[in-house]
Chain A
Amino acid sequence: AQRVTQPEKLLSVFKGAPVELKCNYSYSGSPELFWYVQYSRQRLQLLLRHISRESIKGFTADLNKGETSFHLKKPFAQEEDSAMYYCALRAAISNFGNEKLTFGTGTRLTIIP
């Protein structure tokens, strides 16, 4: 069975400082990893996925299969980054391929002005 671990429930960072939200996973197959974000009074939404290797709102995340990690990073935190962040792992649930997501417990990031 797959598992996603986010060890930090709360994380506070000063504006302008680097941010790293940790995510570790366990899965016997080839994983697909995602970061979802929920801003105050907004819906949960996709931030980025490892397969796209993209940077969204200054955030990046690299899949490290050796360490089974998918940490979310941003070099300079901004106040608008304050939100709840969830790491998620996609596991194929049938030959259709789609798409059971297993979520971590989330990290609430607070940016201190």
Chain B
Amino acid sequence: DGGITQSPKYLFRKEGQNVTLSCEQNLNHDAMYWYRQDPGQGLRLIYYSQIVNDFQKGDIAEGYSVSREKKESFPLTVTSAQKNPTAFYLCASSIDSGPSGTDTQYFGPGTRLTVL
């Protein structure tokens, strides 16, 4: 594996605290994504970024924030406003090849966040 890494693997947070999850890729991919995986609900898109210094909300962005200052990094902050933050978080990246592209998304190993 390699290519796209997430840290830490496990993260514990006290209620009311913000926490930042790291996602780094060395695949030279333009696009990066954050998903949340809950049992019985599949993967849901939180935020995505197609290029540096640009990002868009996904389906469940409330209570989360992101930044994309570098091509290889797309950190996700889970804020205290997120009502139910305990979940498994997956980061992914893909080459942005435009309208004719059929890009594969490559996933990181994930971070399991538990709010105590």
Residues of A within 8 A of B (CB): 4, 6, 9, 32, 43-46, 49, 51-52, 86, 92-106
The contact of B103 among A52, A93, A99, A105, by CB within 8 Å, is A99
Contact residues of B: prevailing secondary structure: loop
By Cβ-Cβ distance, the 9 closest A-B pairs, closest first, are: A97-B99, A105-B42, A103-B43, A44-B107, A103-B42, A46-B104, A98-B96, A43-B107, A97-B98
Q: How many A-B residue pairs have CB under 8 A?
A: 67
B101 x A98 contact (CB < 8 A): yes
In whole angstroms, how far apart are the Cα atoms of A93 and B108 in the complex? 22
Q: Which chain A residues border B1 with CB–CB below 8 Å? A: 43
Contact residues of A: prevailing secondary structure: loop
Q: Does B85 contact A (CB under 8 A)?
A: no
In whole angstroms, how far apart are the Cα atoms of A93 and B31 in the complex? 12
Q: Does B94 contact A (CB under 8 A)?
A: yes
Q: Which chain B residues border A96 with CB–CB below 8 Å? A: 50, 96, 98-99
Given the known inter-chain contacts A32-B102, A44-B107, A97-B98, please indicate yes or no for A9 contacting B40, CB distance below 8 A. Answer: yes
The contact of B94 among A4, A86, A99, by CB within 8 Å, is A99
Q: Does B105 contact A (CB under 8 A)?
A: yes
